[in-house]
Amino acid sequence: MSPARPPEGARSLPEGQGRRPEGVPSNSAAAPLLEVKNLVKHFPIKGGLLSRTVDKVHAVDGVSFSLQEGETLGLVGESGCGKSTTGRCILRLIEPTAGEVTFGGRSVTRASKEELRALARQMQIIFQDPFASLNPRMTVGAIVGEGLVIHGLANSAAEIEARVAKLLETVGLSADQMRRYPHEFSGGQRQRIGIARALAVDPTLVVCDEAVSALDVSIQAQVINLLQDLQQQFGLTYVFIAHDLSVVEHISTRVAVMYLGRIVELASAHDIYANPRHPYTEALLSAVPIPDPTLNRQRIRLQGDVPSPIKPPPGCHFHTRCPIAQKGLCDVQKPELKAISEGHWVSCHLRA
């Protein structure tokens, strides 16, 4: 039975309730599966004679959200917004500079090496590039079964083979392709192999880092359907990272819009589309191409380019391109993520 998705615009806000820290956006009062609080990641830029840190890339600049079991949280934004880095920090594939990540009540950011290994069984990731994410010198069977080997989840080689066969079939490939090598498969098939690999250890949370972005449109639909089917079948929770807002809207229950390392708006998928409050969200929505030539749309034109994450603008990061920015306020003070209605959070001085 599929785990129920929380109904849109669910329960009351959890001000100071339970173990969850204040102000972490969430939809329900139940203990969340994943909690991210004030996540920060800076990449140092080295330079000079002694390779000192001369500058920093502010990839993630204070991101907070929480996730219930069975949900799909979409992280959407353009290049440089920090969504991929956030995804990797959740798994600690990249070490966060600051902030807390808690999974099932246990701290991820402060976990030891052994604890992290155990956590790897519960949190997995699917990568974007179907060509670079599979070791070209390993057979598909070895790739999918590696998780079983690392964690000792099977008692014999025969058992590993049987489980790998089952996994391949679950993702829509045939078991006799186990002995083949990645280069013999198409992009869509390789993504399925990547999905099978992630599922092998039976995780609860799967981070999909642009998992369908590199695929052709018709293959993309296949894989999106597969991901949704698997979510129902295995009760998975997804963090779905993408730049294509249409895809994110389709697959997510809630959507977080990111800009230059910060979340600017967080709401249910429906509300993001029907009732966007942040000017960036509005601009993003108006820019998304819709395959319907009869629509006459008003485009909100954003001027200029995305600023560099090395020198993000002071105050609100978006103020340099914002059509309603107020001088003296938006270029000075950083806005906080505030709830404007149930389950709808916005980070804007003027709209929240």
Partner 1 sequence: MRLLDIQGLKTHFKTDDGWLHAVDGVDLTLDAGETLGVVGESGCGKSVTAMSVLKLVPMPPGRIVEGRMLWQGRDLVPMSPEEMRKIRLKEIAIVFQEPMTSLNPVYTIGDQLSEGIRLHEGLSKKDSLDRAVQMLRKVNIPTAERRINDYPHHFSGGMRQRVMIALALSCRPKLLIADEPTTALDVTIQAQILDLLAELKAELGMAVMLITHAMGVVAEVAQRVVVMYAGKVVEQAPVRELFAHPRHPYTQGLIRSIPRIDLAATAKPRLEAIPGTVPKLVAPKPGCRFAGRCKHAKPSCSDADPTLRDVGPGHQVACFLDVVA
Partner 2 sequence: MPGSTLASPTAEAAPRKRSTSPWAEAWRRFQRHRLAYWSLWLLGLMVLAVLLGPLVYKVGINEIDFKARLAGPSMAHPLGTDDLGRDLLARVLYGGRISLAVGMAAMLMAISVGVVIGAIAGISRGWIDAALMWVTDLFLSLPQLPLLLLLIFLFRDPLKAAFGLEVGMFMLIVLVIGGFRWMPVARLVRAQFFSLREKEFVEAARALGASTSRQVVRHILPNSLGPVIVAATIDVAAAIIAESTLSFLGLGFPPDIPTWGRILYDGRDYMDIATHWALFPGIAIFITVLTINFIGDGLRDALDPRRVL
From 12-20, 72-80, 116-124, 327-335, span contacting partner 2 (CB under 8 A): 116-124
The DSSP code sequence of 191-244 is: HHHHHHHHHTT--SEEEEESTTTTS-HHHHHHHHHHHHHHHHHHT-EEEEEES-
Q: Of 30, 116, 157, 288, which lies in the binding site for partner 2, with binding defined by CB under 8 A? A: 116
Shortest Å distance, C-beta 245 to partner 1:
6
Shortest spacing between CB 132 and partner 2, in angstroms: 5
Establish if 172 lies at the interface with partner 2 (CB under 8 A): yes
DSSP for 143-186, please give it. HHHHHHHHTT--SSHHHHHHHHHHHHHHTT--GGGGGS-GGGS-
CA–CA gap between residue 243 and residue 252 (Å, rounded):
13
For the bound state, the minimum distance from the C-beta of residue 247 to partner 1, rounded and expressed in Å, comes to 5
* Run of H or E including 115: helix 113-120
Measured torsion, CA atoms of residues 228, 232, 233, 239, in degrees rounded to the nearest 10: 60
Q: Does 302 bind partner 1 (CB under 8 A)?
A: yes
Q: Measure the CA–CA gap between 49 and 341, rounded to whole angstroms.
A: 53
Does residue number 217 form part of the binding site for partner 2 (CB under 8 A)? no
Residue 201 sits in the site that holds partner 2 (CB under 8 A): yes
Binder of partner 2 out of 163, 180, 250, 334 (CB under 8 A)? 180
Q: Is 47 in the site for partner 2 (CB under 8 A)?
A: no
Q: Considering only residues 36, 90, 208, 285, which one is a binding residue for partner 1 as defined by CB under 8 A? A: 285
Instruction: List interacting residues with partner 1 (CB under 8 A).
Output: 78-79, 186, 188-189, 216-222, 224-225, 228, 243-247, 249-251, 269-270, 272-274, 283-294, 299, 301-302, 305-306
